[in-house]
A and B are shown apart, each in its own frame.
Chain A
Amino acid sequence: MSHRKRRRQSRASHSDVTPADDVKLLPVSVETHAVIEPGHTYGSVTDKISAIVLTRKTSRGWIFGFAVSFALMMAFMYATAYLLAKGIGIWGTTIPVGWAFPIVNFVWWIGIGHAGTLISAVLLLLHQDWRTSINRFAEAMTLFAVSCAGLFPLLHMGRPWVFYWMLPYPNTMDLWPNFRSPLVWDVFAVMTYFTVSSLFWYMGLIPDLATLRDRSKNWLSRIIYGMLAMGWRGSAAHWQRYQTAYLLMAGIATPLVVSVHSIVGMDFAASIVPGWHTTFSPPFFVTGAIFSGFAMVMTLMIPLRSIYGLQDFVTMRHLDNMGKVILATGSIMFYGYASELFFAYYSGNEYERFVTINRVLGPYGWSYWALIACNVITPQLLWCDSLRNNLVVLFVVSLIVNVGMWLERFIIVVVSLHRDFLPSSWRIYQPTIWDYTHLIGSVGLFLTLLFLFVRFLPVISIFELRELVRETDAEA
């Protein structure tokens, strides 16, 4: 039975039978949660969400959180200034481990970004109505995560000021980028991803910006939101083109997500390094991205919905479904780890076998076991309905998954590099304080942008919630 049907039944039973029968009829399961709590009208969803931006006083918690994030962002700026002045030798990155924290962070952040597009585009194409309450926030998360990710390939260059040499433009040297390198593909992938996600996000915002323009009492915000809304009037002709554009954007964003992280995966897969040169890298990276991205949405959504009182819109059903996606992708990750082990053995290649043994039992063995604990064992808790409906469990699991996914990128990047073909080129990698500053500072940058977003833009898509109200009314 489809979700929709089942929900309709539970809804019907609410209205037709007495409360006592109701309890008996409804199985105690998550299916009884609606995607939006009953009793909302177009007006109430509009007012409730626009109030967060327009009338609600900026809370102390917001100011405190913003201050902390901003301070961390300043640490990032400081570390970057020092990096530009001194050179990349301030990091622990050396030979043979030429790629370390910056690339680990890059892949981690861009992976986190993927859930946003997945929620807004893929779930739209699949007609999943539970995407409505979380898509705006997830898309914003994508943008900010990609902003963090995009910095690392730039900063990681020895000479970042000539980054524009990676772009094809006619120049007096008659030189072009080498289009055979996955690092040049990355430039195009990440820039396209950032641009398309921004457009997609902004397009989704236009009707809501018009709502804020019409609701705001203050002339400055009316002018700013009015400019941003570009004169949106919600006419039938506008909506028709808008919906077509939105659907087409979703259709092109879906292959984009898959391709972007596949290209990131090819940075490794196109090399000859044992442990990197695996054909399953692209789908494996994409799965990991979904896994970590959903975990990050969950980490941020659980506090957000309780702080801003959004439990009516982001219900347990959303969190439950996200938990299921984490469980599903986590199981694919498990399959990935298992096939890594199997194919290393099956290849009969001594370097591949050694790399795998080194991952499991070598000097970084702790990170492998921590990875298994975080990414394989922890998500299995989500098989249990009661745990998947427990906010504390979900929150802790999502945090652990984020850590696990960072470790996974660390293992792929660093542990494969530090011991490969030539034993004379083996070396232990030791991150420095600047590696950590850039990692933690990038979290600060991400949170700073997120705090600003929560304060100045609607965290939930208002017009799509109105549509949802209409649909649920029609069903009832």
Chain B
Amino acid sequence: MDVIPPAERLYGLLAEFDVAEAVVDAAHQAHAAGYRQMNAYTPFPVEGLSAALGQRPTRLPWVVLIGGVLGGVTAYATMSYASIVSYPLNVGGRPLNSWPSFIPITFELTILGAAFGAFFGMLALNGLPHPHHPLFNVPAFSLATRDRFFLCIQSRDPRFELEQTRAFLQGMSLHVHEVQP
């Protein structure tokens, strides 16, 4: 490229790899070199990649637990309130607090709450939906959903220096793409 845009105008540099091991290796090296504002993009989950990038384990299980507890408590409380407090009725001579009969719905709504926690929690923590992203400006990035693996070091990383970072990435990858913001 003839004209190199100033570093601050770039989103980052995107290195392309053709095997999963290479991107894990590159992530390790980049982390060791002090880069933090980076992420890797792969067509399927690659074991150890997140750890290599220095990402912390997700808090999602807590979201799921809270969702499940909320669902279950809401269900049991609603049924108790409706059957004991709000409008007590003698149905089939059964006690007002027919707790065994309340279990199935409590169970189902626990599951529903937990599932909502898992699905919407995953989307929220991932920042989805987010249909536009600077990475989509790189034509080759469409292969991230096919058979190529990418490592992107963002320009907001304090260690980011266009030429040096490019040289660093070029040493281990197939291509290095510039990501326009």
Place the interface of chain B in its size category: 35 or more
Q: Given A176-B83, A176-B86, are A188 and B142 neighbors across the interface (CB < 8 Å)? A: no
B108: A residues at CB distance < 8 A: 185, 188-189, 192, 256, 259-260, 263
A188: B residues at CB distance < 8 A: 75, 104-105, 108-109
Q: Verify A248–B135 contact, CB threshold 8 A.
A: no
Q: Verify B45–A243 contact, CB threshold 8 A.
A: yes
B42 and chain A: residue at smallest CB distance = A234
Q: Verify B126–A174 contact, CB threshold 8 A.
A: no
CA–CA, A180 and B92, complex, Å: 9
Q: Is A211 an interface residue (CB 8 A)?
A: yes
| Distance of B16 from chain A, by nearest CB (Å) | 14
Q: Is the interface of B mostly helix, strand, loop or mixed?
A: helix
Question: Which B74-103 residues sit within 8 Å CB-CB of chain A?
Answer: 75, 78-79, 82-83, 86-87, 89, 91-92, 94, 98, 101-102
Q: Is B128 an interface residue (CB 8 A)?
A: yes
Question: Which A215-253 residues sit within 8 Å CB-CB of chain B?
Answer: 215, 226-227, 230-245, 248-249, 252-253
Q: Verify B145–A252 contact, CB threshold 8 A.
A: no
Q: Is A308 an interface residue (CB 8 A)?
A: no
Q: Verify B58–A244 contact, CB threshold 8 A.
A: yes
Q: Is A142 an interface residue (CB 8 A)?
A: no
Q: Is A430 an interface residue (CB 8 A)?
A: no
Q: How many residues of A contact B (CB 8 A)?
A: 65
Q: Verify B39–A235 contact, CB threshold 8 A.
A: yes
A176 and chain B: residue at smallest CB distance = B82
Q: Verify B131–A41 contact, CB threshold 8 A.
A: no
Q: Verify A236–B55 contact, CB threshold 8 A.
A: yes
A464 and chain B: residue at smallest CB distance = B44
B112: A residues at CB distance < 8 A: 192, 195-196
B55: A residues at CB distance < 8 A: 236-237, 240
* Complex A-B, nearest 10 residue pairs according to Cβ-Cβ distance, in ascending order: A230-B129, A176-B82, A42-B147, A245-B122, A214-B142, A231-B130, A239-B45, A180-B101, A211-B145, A43-B147
Task: Enumerate chain B interface residues (CB-CB to A < 8 A).
Answer: 20, 27, 39-46, 49-50, 53, 55, 57-58, 60-61, 64, 68, 75, 78-79, 82-83, 86-87, 89, 91-92, 94, 98, 101-102, 104-105, 107-109, 111-112, 114-116, 118-119, 121-123, 125-126, 128-133, 135-136, 142-147
Task: Enumerate chain A interface residues (CB-CB to B < 8 A).
Answer: 41-43, 46-47, 168, 174-180, 182, 184-185, 188-189, 192, 195-196, 199-200, 202-203, 206-207, 210-211, 213-215, 226-227, 230-245, 248-249, 252-253, 255-256, 259-260, 263, 266, 463-464, 466-467, 470
